[in-house]
Structure 1
Amino acid sequence: MQEQQLEDEDSLVEYGFRRVIITITAVLCALLEIVDTTIVNVALNDMKGSLGATLTDVAWVITAYAIANVIVIPMTSWLSKQFGRRNYFATSIIIFTVSSFLCGNATNIWELVAFRFIQGLGGGALLVTAQTIITESYPMAKRGMAQAIYGMGVIVGPTLGPPLGGYIVDNYSWPYIFYINIPLGIIATFLTIMYVRSPKYGEKLKASQVDWWGIVLLATFIGSLQFVLEHGQQDDWFDNSLILTLSITSFFGLILFIWRELVYENPIVNLRVLRDSNLRVGTIMTFILGFGLYGSTFIIPIYTQSVLGFTATDAGLLLIPSSITTGIMMPIIGKLIQKGVPQKYLVTAGFSIFFIYSVWMYLEMTPDTGVEHFFWPLVVRGIGLGLLFVPITTLSLSTLTGKDIGDGAAFTGMTRQLGGSFGIAIITTMISRWGQQHRVDLIPNLDPTKFNVQQRIQSLQHMFMGKGFSVNESLNKAYELLDLSVTKQAVVLSYMDIFLYLGILFLLCVPFVLLIKKGAGKVDMSAVH
C-alpha cells in the first residue's frame, strides 16, 4: 500500500518545460495572495475618501481578508482531498479573480469588506496548495530547491505590496490594485487546468461524515482571535466589551475545537500530527518567523512615514533591497540543503543574523535617520530571512511521513499567518503604550528654570518673531514646537525598544533549534497535500 502511494506521488514529478510552467503558475499564485495582504495598506486613505467611510470602517478591508485567509489555510489539506487538488486550486484562483473584480467595483465600504472576505477565502488556499504543487513537481533530490523557489514568493511578496500599491494609488486610483489581479488570475487558471495534475486520494467523504462542527469551531476560534488582534489596540483591548467577548469566545472555541478534532473520526484538521516533536518546535519557529517577517515589514513603512515624512511609495521602495537580497539567498540556501548542510546550522545563523539586524536598527534610529542608514541593516534582514524560511519549513516536516506531511504544512502556513497578526497587534500596542511612557519620562527634562531650556525657547521665539508673529504668539508657537519635538523623540524611543525586544526574541529562539532531533532535515516532502 505504501509502495503504491509512493509510486503515485513519484508520478507527479515533472521535467523540462512542464515543470517550468507549473513552477511559474504556483509562484504567481502565491505572490498574488501575499501581495494582496499588504497592497491595500497604502490605499486605505483613498478608499476612506471615495467610499465615505471612517478609519475604523476601512480597517475592515484588511481584517476581513486576514480572517478568511487564516480560517481556510488549515482546511486546505482536507479540501484538496475532497475535491481533487487541481480542481480545488483552479476554483480558488477563479474565486480570488472574480472577487478582485467585485472589490474594484464596490460602491460602499461594506460591499468592499464582503468581497474582500470572499477574496480571502480564495487566496488562503493558494499559499499551501502552491507549495505542495511545486514540491511534488520536483524529484526528491531537488526538493530543497523547490522550497527555495516557493519561499521567494512568500518572503518577497509582503515587501512588494506597499511600493506597488503606492505607485498605483499615486498614478491611477485604488480600484486598480484589485484589477491587476484579473489578467494574472485568468492566465494562472488556464495554466492550472492545462498542466497541474492531482494525486489519487482514495474515497471521498459523504456529506454526513464531514466534520461540520470542526469547521464551525475553527471559524469561530480563528475568526474571533484575528478580529481581536486586528482591532485590539484601537478599541482599547479588554476595556472594550466586544474585544473581551470575542477573546472569551476564541478561548472556548479553541478548547472545543481541540476536543472535537481529537475525538472525531474524520477531523477537518489532524491535530494528532503535533505529536511529532520536530513539527512542534518547527511550529513555534514558524510563528516567530511570521512575527519577525510581517512585524518588521509593517513597522518600517509606518516609522518612515509617521516620523521621517516619507511618501507611501518611498516607504515601500525602502524594503526592495531586503527583498532582492532574500531572492538571491533562496536558491543559494536551496543548493546548500541539497549538498547536505544541516538546516540546524542555517536556522541558527538566520536567527543570529536577525538579532544583529534588530540591534543595528535600534542603534541607527533617530528623528533624522535617512535612507542611507536603512540600506545595509535591511540587506542583513534579507540574508536572515533567506536563512530562516526554507530550513524551518523542511525541519518542521522532516520526521513526518505520508499524508501527515500535508497536515504539517497546513500548520506551518497557519502559524506563519498568526505570527504576523500577533506581531502587528503587539507592535502597534507597544508603540502606543511605550510612546506615552517615554513622553511622561521626557517632560521633566523641559524644566523652564534650566538655562539650556530657556535658550532653546528664546531661539525658537526669535525665529517665529522673524517670520512676523507677535511676541506672545511666537512664545506659544515655541512651546508647541518643543512639545512636538518631545512627542517625536518619545515615538522614536518606542520604535527603538521594539527593535531591541525583537532582536532578543530572535536570539532566544536559538535554544529551540537545538531541540531538533539529530539527523532531521532530510524531508520526504512527497506527500504534502
Structure 2
Amino acid sequence: MTNDSVNRRPPQALIMGVALATMAQALDGRMMMVTLPLIRGHLAATVDEGGWVVIAYLMANIAVLPLSPWLSARLGRRRYYLCSLVGFAAAAFFCACSPSIVELVWWRAVQGAFGAGLIAVSQAILRQAMPEQKLGLSQVIFAGTFVGAPLALGPLIGGILVDNDGSWRWTFLIVGLLALASAILCSRFLPEQEAANRRAALDWIGAGLLAGALVPLQYVLYEGQRYNWWSEPRIGLLAALSVAAAAGFLAWELRAPNPLIDRRLFAIPVVVAGVLLIVPVAVVLSAVVAIVLQFAEQFLHFGATLAGELTVVRALVFVPLVFLLGITMDRRPMPVRPLLFVGLGLLALSNVMQFFATTTAASFGTIIVSFVVGGIAIAPAVIPLLWGVLRAVPRSQTLGVTTMLGLGLQLGGEATPAIVQSVLAHRFAFHYQVLRSNATPSRLAFAHLPAHLHAVQLLVRLITEQSYTLAFADVALVVATIAVLSAILVPFFRSPYAKELERS
C-alpha cells in the first residue's frame, strides 16, 4: 500500500483504529475522575497516595508529548505509533492487576509516557491519511473521539462502576482493550510515512527545559488548591521552578541551532492564535461537565450514573452537528472567525444558563437545557479552530502543529480542576460568611425556644448548602467569562485562503 493511495482512499479500518486510539487515551482520564475514590478505598490509600495515581500519569504524559515529532522521525511514524499503542495497552493491563497503590502509581507513569504518542500522532495521521479536501472530516473524527465521546462516556461508565459496586480495575481494562484493538487495526492498515531517520537530532537542552516547566506545573495544578496554593512553600517553589524553566526554554529556543519546536510555525499568526485559544476552549468544555456533575451528585442527590447520563445527552446533540459542520466546510470553505465567535458565544450562553439553573430545586430537565446549548456550541468552537490552524501549514509540518495543539488541550484539561476548585472554595467562603453574618440571635425568631439548638443546627446546614449552591453558580459565571475573554484571539484567525474563499 503506497502513501499516495492512502491519501486518496484511506481504509475505513485505519480511521477506526486511530479513532479507538484517541478515545482510549482521552477516556482514561474522564473515567478516572469518577472512579478515583473507589480506587483509594479498595487499595486503602490516603488522599495523597490516591492523587499520585493521576499526577504520575500527567507528569509522564506531558514530559513525553513534546518529543513526539523527534520520536516519530527517529523510529518512523508507524513503529513509534504501534509501540505507543502496545505500551499503553500493556501498562493499562498492569494497572488493572496492581495489588498495591505503589505498583499502580508506577504503571500509571508508564501508561502516561506511552499515551503521549497517541495524541499528536493520531491527529497527524488523520490529516495526512485523508485528502486535503476532507480536512474538516479528519478533524471531526479527532474531535469526536478525543473531546466529544470521552466527555460523554467517561462519566457515564465511571458512574455505572461506582453505583453498582463494580471493580475499579475495569477502568483500565476498558481503555487497554480499546488500545489493543487499535494496535491490531493499525498494524494492518497504517503505512510508513517515511523511512526512520536514525540520525535525527534532538534538542536535549530545550527538551529538558520544557520538561522542567511542564512537569512541576502538573503537581501545582492538581494539588495547589488542597494545599491552599501559596501558603504551602512546596507549591510556591515548584511554581517558581516552572516559570523559570519556561523562560529559559523560550530564550533557548530563539537561538537554538536545532530547536525542539520549529520556529517557522511561530511566524504564522493563525497557528499561534490557535494554540493559545485551544487552552481556554479546553477549560470551558471540561469545566461545565465538572461543575454540573459534582453539584448534581452532592446536592441534587443524583446517582453517579444519572449524572453521567447528562453528558450523554450533550453528546447526542454534539455528534450530528459536528459531522454536518465538518462535511460542509470540506465542500465549501467557510470563514473561520464568524464560526468561532458563534461557538464561543454559545459556550458562554450555556454557562450563563447554568448559572441561573443552579439551585437546590434544580432537576434533570432544568439542567439538561444548558447542556444541550453547550453541545450545540462544541461544533463551531472546536472544528473551525482545528480546521483553520491545519490549513495554514503544509502537510509536512502537521506533526509539529498537532503536538502544539495537543499540549494546549492537555494543559487546558489539567487546569480545569484547579480553576473550578479554587473558585468554588473562595466563593463558598464568601457566601458562607455573608449568610452566617445575617443569622444573628436577634434575627432568629426561635432563639428563645427550648429546642433552638436543634433549629440552629438545621440552619447551619441550610446555610452551608446554600453557600455551596451559590458558589457553584459563580463558577459557571467565571467559566462563561473565560469563554468571552478568549474571543480576543479570534481576530488573529486571518485565513491564508482568503482569495479562495472569495472565489468560492
Report TM bin, short chain.
over 0.9
The aligned residue for residue 193 of structure 2 is 199
Distance between the aligned counterparts of 2:257 and 2:196, measured in 1?
16
User: What SS does the aligned partner of 2:493 have?
Assistant: coil
TM-score, L = length of structure 2? 0.93
Are 1:394 and 1:521, in contact at CA under 8 Å, matched by a contact in 2?
A: no
Report whether the alignment pairs 1:319 with 2:300. no
Match of 1:369 in 2: 362
Distance 1:219 1:518, change over 3 A: closer
Counterpart Cα distance in 1 of 2:318 and 2:395? 31
- Alpha-carbon distance, 1:9 to partner: 6.4
Which stretch shifts more, 406-415 or 72-81? 72-81
Query: 1:522/1:419 Cα in 2 relative to 1: closer, same or farther (>3 Å)?
Result: farther
SS at match of 2:418: helix
SS, match of residue 25 in structure 1: helix
The residue number in structure 1 matching 2:158 is: 165
CA contact (8 A) 2:350 2:370 kept: yes
Q: From 426, 446, 449, give the equivalent of 2:442.
A: 449
Larger deviation, residues 271-280 vs 114-123:
271-280
Q: Is the 8 A contact 1:395 1:521 kept in 2?
A: no
Counterpart position of 1:512:
489
RMSD, aligned α-carbons: 2.1
Q: Which one-letter code corresponds to 1:351 in the other structure?
A: L
Once the two structures are TM-superposed, the CA of residue 222 in structure 1 deviates from its matched residue by 0.6
CA distance in 1, matches of 2:290, 2:263: 31
- Work out whether 1:387 is the aligned partner of 2:380: yes
- Structure 1 stretches of 5 or more lacking a match? 1-7, 462-470, 524-529
Aligned twin of 1:468 = none
Question: Could you tell me which residue of structure 1 aligns to residue 390 of structure 2?
Answer: 397
Shift of 1:332: 0.8
SS at match of 1:449: helix
Of structures 1 and 2, the larger Rg is shown by 1
Equivalent residues of 1:93, 1:185 under 8 A apart: yes
Is 1:353 matched up with 2:327?
Answer: no
Aligned position for 2:56? 64
Identity %: 25
> Counterparts in 2 of 1:89-100, with a 5 A limit?
89-100=81-92
Query: Could you tell me which residue of structure 2 aligns to residue 297 of structure 1?
Result: 289
One-letter amino acid of the structure 2 residue matched with residue 223 of structure 1: V
1:364-394 CA-to-partner distances (Å, cap 9, x unmatched) read 1111211111111101101111211111112
Aligned to 2:416: 423
Task: Please report how far the alpha carbon of residue 515 of structure 1 lies from its aligned counterpart in structure 2 after TM superposition.
Answer: 2.6
TM-score, normalised to structure 1, is: 0.89
Matched with 1:175 is 169
Determine the C-alpha separation between the residues in 2 that align with 1:263 and 1:155: 36
Partner of 1:475: 452
The range that moved more, 117-126 or 267-276, is 267-276
Give deviations 1:453-487, integer Å, cap 9, x for gaps: 426x79xx8xxxxxxxxx5xx43222111111111
Q: Once the two structures are superposed, what CA deviation does each residue of 1:488-522 show, in whole Å capped at 9, x if it has no partner?
A: 11111111111112212212333421232255589
Structure 2 match to 1:190: 184
- Counterpart of 2:365, as a letter, is E
Q: Distance in 1 between matches of 2:499 and 2:82?
A: 31
Deviation at 1:29, TM superposition (A): 0.6
Q: Which amino acid aligns with 2:102?
A: W
What's the CA shift for 1:35? 0.4
Q: Are positions 1:231 and 2:223 aligned together?
A: yes
Describe the shift of the 1:251–1:102 C-alpha distance in structure 2 as closer, same or farther (beyond 3 A). same
Shift of 1:272: 4.3
Could you tell me how far 1:344 is from its partner in structure 2?
A: 1.6
Deviation, 1:79, is 1.4
Equivalent-residue separation in structure 1 for 2:223 and 2:240 (angstroms): 15
Per-residue CA deviation, residues 249-286 of structure 1 (Å, 9 max, x unaligned), is 11111122223333333333334422211111112210
Counterpart residue identity of residue 475, structure 2: I
8 A Cα contact 1:337 1:343, kept in partner: no
What is the CA distance between 1:400 and its match in structure 2?
A: 2.2
Deviation at 1:308, TM superposition (A): 1.7
Distance 2:34 2:26 in 1: 15
Superposed displacement of residue 131, structure 1: 1.3
Verify: 1:286 aligned to 2:273, yes or no.
Answer: no
Q: How does 1:232-271 map to 2 (within 5 A)?
A: 232-271=224-263
Q: CA-to-partner distance for each residue in 1:411-443, whole Å, 9 max, x for gaps?
A: 111111111222221111110011001111111
Tell me how far apart the structure 1 counterparts of residues 435 and 204 of structure 2 sit (CA, whole Å): 56
Q: CA deviation at 1:215?
A: 2.5
Number of residue pairs matched by the alignment: 496
Unaligned runs of 5+ in 2: none
Per the alignment, residue 332 of structure 1 pairs with 324
Is the CA contact (8 Å cut-off) linking 2:19 and 2:141 kept in structure 1?
yes
Give the aligned residue type for 1:275: A
Structure 2 CA distance for aligned equivalents of residues 284 and 278 of structure 1? 10
Say if 1:37 and 1:65, in contact at 8 Å, map to a contact too: no
Query: For residues 32 and 236 of structure 1, what CA distance do their matches in structure 2 show?
Result: 33
Tell me the residue number matched to 1:275: 267
Deviation (angstroms), 1:124 = 1.9
Structure 1 position 138 matched with structure 2 position 130:
yes
CA distance in 1 between partners of 2:389 and 2:499 (Å):
11
Offset at residue 183 of structure 1 (A): 3.1
For 2:321 and 2:54, the matched residues in 1 are separated by 30
